[in-house]
Homo-oligomer: A and B are copies of this chain.
Amino acid sequence: MIRPLSLWGRGKGLALALALLASPALADGLIDNANGYTFDGKGQLVRFNGLLIDDQGKVARLLDRDDKRPEKLDFRLDARGRTVVPGLIDAHGHVMGLGEAALSLDLSGTNSLAEAQAALRAYAADRPTPPWIRGRGWNQERWGLGRFPTAADIDAITPGRPVVLDRVDGHALLANTAAMAAAGITAATKDPAGGRIERDAKGKPTGVFVDAAQELIRKAVPPMLPRDRDAALAKAQEILLGFGITAIADMGTSGEDWLVMRRAGDAGRLRVRIISYAGGIPTLLAVAGTGPTPWLYDGRLRMIGVKLYDDGALGSRGAWLKAPYADAPGQTGLSFLDDTKLRNLMSRAAMDGFQTAVHAIGDAANAQVLDAIDELAATYKGDRRWRIEHAQIIDPADLSRFAKHGVVASMQPVHQTSDRLMAEARLGQARLGGAYAWKAMLDNKVPLAFGSDAPVESPNPFPALAAAVSRQDAAGQPPGGWQPQQSVTLAEAFRAFTATAAYAGFAEDRIGTLTPGHMADFLILDRDIFTAGIADLRTARPLETWIGGKRAWTAPQGGQASSN
């Protein structure tokens, strides 16, 4: 065994590396003949040919082509020139939500009612239990149906089994007759305030429940069974590993989520590393108590802080803006927390050494959080790494304020490509200078961490890397990229998805780079992403995902990773 030396983490270890070379018999594993990339202590991309792993699953040493290989190894893998990179770290995701969404029926790709009916039939046949069927993603406009779907459209497909299908926008759901019966819905049920029940000519509910009326059905849906929660976590991990995500910041862990994660840890079923941010102060205090938890389960789980929400989202005009929405004069969005409440919540976490990660999308929300940090930083000194999640719309005058207290900008490249047209409508051309402003963050020396916001977007980081360097969506739109001055280099984007994402979670001493003493979390890729064009970058996939020096995931035969 090669004992990890903590001082190696800063790139000072050349002499020690040479010293260790004298006792190669202690090394346990070698990934050899790799086209390897990682970052050095200065954040510069560096190359390696061999990756030596110790018996603790940590990086023992990086080897050049000419370095002598140890003679005694427990295993040796010939990468045959394949590209090897550090495992990617998703700085902002929702682990249980990802798994739950993946296990429910996905109708977002259906182009007709008939396609949706077929998908429901197949899904139900595959899953005889639990009785209730949940799904999402239908859109009667896309179907060209000319009307809302009805319970009658789906009743015959799953006799006796309640079905609840969310519309693509989450503002309506379709329930079948069994679900309505379970919820006690009759013609006598009244529309609730803020909601509407679709009805036939005789006043009988037809199956669609709009906005607040959805709750009439949702409250009847049984809570998830423990085995389904366990399955959701397992599914989420399988998806993440298949996309090369070896660690993820879980943004808003509930108490229930935490217990599912611990159960998995206790049973040795935690595969991906999870950096947990509690979904609110009560959960934070109940779980972690008086300070961040230690790293649990061999570095697989840690609760380090709290996720707070300061405003809504841009699409629903909930993002809190300094000036009114361009497409809704007089509206400036939703401020969830006043100055005092925001400071009190952040303070409650910070006083016990917890990190805060505040959702702020609009420029007013971002300014409010920056103001709060300005004030709190005077009390809570030291290395705090205040995080702003999304940081989507920034007043250019505020961009330089992030760096002042080392605020981390935790951003999601794919949101830019998804939101582009909507952002133009909401903000108007004059306010786009600080929108999704990745390059401006880097120029201002702001730690920039990238993530997916899965399941809102796919957790696949390769399309995100492509978006980051091109400001173009998967179809290559718009030509030349949207606000292309905010694009970053691939090395910068990759660092935001690895080293800085680790830094954002106080984990840069163990993950994010392949550095002696750090965890041997790495990917063997199907192509060299650093020499690939945008289209090839976007479709890159891991062949193998390794965590802690062990192979955690292998692409299905043929080298094609799962696309789920």
Chain A residues in the interface with B (C-beta under 8 A): 225-227, 229-230, 255-256, 259-260, 262-263, 266-267, 285-290, 293-294, 296, 352
Q: A266-B294, A294-B267, A296-B266 are in contact. Are A289 and B229 (CB under 8 A)?
A: yes
Which of A266, A289, A296 has most B Cβ within 10 Å? Answer: A289
Task: Specify which chain B residues have a CB less than 8 angstroms from the CB of A263 in the assembled complex.
Answer: 287-289, 293
Report the Cα distance A193→B124, complex, angstroms: 51
25 contacts between A and B (CB under 8 A): A225-B285, A226-B285, A226-B286, A226-B290, A226-B352, A227-B289, A227-B290, A229-B289, A230-B289, A230-B290, A255-B255, A255-B259, A255-B286, A256-B286, A259-B286, A259-B289, A260-B289, A262-B262, A263-B287, A263-B288, A263-B289, A263-B293, A266-B294, A266-B296, A267-B294
Report the Cα distance A286→B229, complex, angstroms: 9
Task: Specify which chain B residues have a CB less than 8 angstroms from the CB of A226 in the assembled complex.
Answer: 285-286, 288-290, 352
How many whole Å from A318's CB to the nearest CB in chain B? 30
Task: Specify which chain B residues have a CB less than 8 angstroms from the CB of A256 in the assembled complex.
Answer: 286
Task: Specify which chain B residues have a CB less than 8 angstroms from the CB of A293 in the assembled complex.
Answer: 263, 266
Report the Cα distance A263→B288, complex, angstroms: 7
Task: Specify which chain B residues have a CB less than 8 angstroms from the CB of A255 in the assembled complex.
Answer: 255, 259, 286
In the bound complex, do residue A259 and residue B287 qualify as a contact, i.e. CB atoms below 8 Å apart? yes
Task: Specify which chain B residues have a CB less than 8 angstroms from the CB of A230 in the assembled complex.
Answer: 289-290
Task: Specify which chain B residues have a CB less than 8 angstroms from the CB of A294 in the assembled complex.
Answer: 266-267
Closest B residue to A352 by CB, please name it.
B226
Report the Cα distance A290→B225, complex, angstroms: 9
- Top 3 A-B pairs ranked by shortest CB distance? A226-B289, A226-B285, A263-B289
Closest B residue to A291 by CB, please name it.
B226
Report the Cα distance A225→B348, complex, angstroms: 12
Report the Cα distance A149→B266, complex, angstroms: 51
Report the Cα distance A289→B267, complex, angstroms: 12
Task: Specify which chain B residues have a CB less than 8 angstroms from the CB of A288 in the assembled complex.
Answer: 226, 263
Task: Specify which chain B residues have a CB less than 8 angstroms from the CB of A259 in the assembled complex.
Answer: 255, 286-287, 289
How many whole Å from A56's CB to the nearest CB in chain B? 20
Report the Cα distance A288→B267, complex, angstroms: 11
Task: Specify which chain B residues have a CB less than 8 angstroms from the CB of A227 in the assembled complex.
Answer: 289-290
Task: Specify which chain B residues have a CB less than 8 angstroms from the CB of A262 in the assembled complex.
Answer: 262
Report the Cα distance A457→B256, complex, angstroms: 33
Task: Specify which chain B residues have a CB less than 8 angstroms from the CB of A267 in the assembled complex.
Answer: 294
Report the Cα distance A225→B290, complex, angstroms: 9
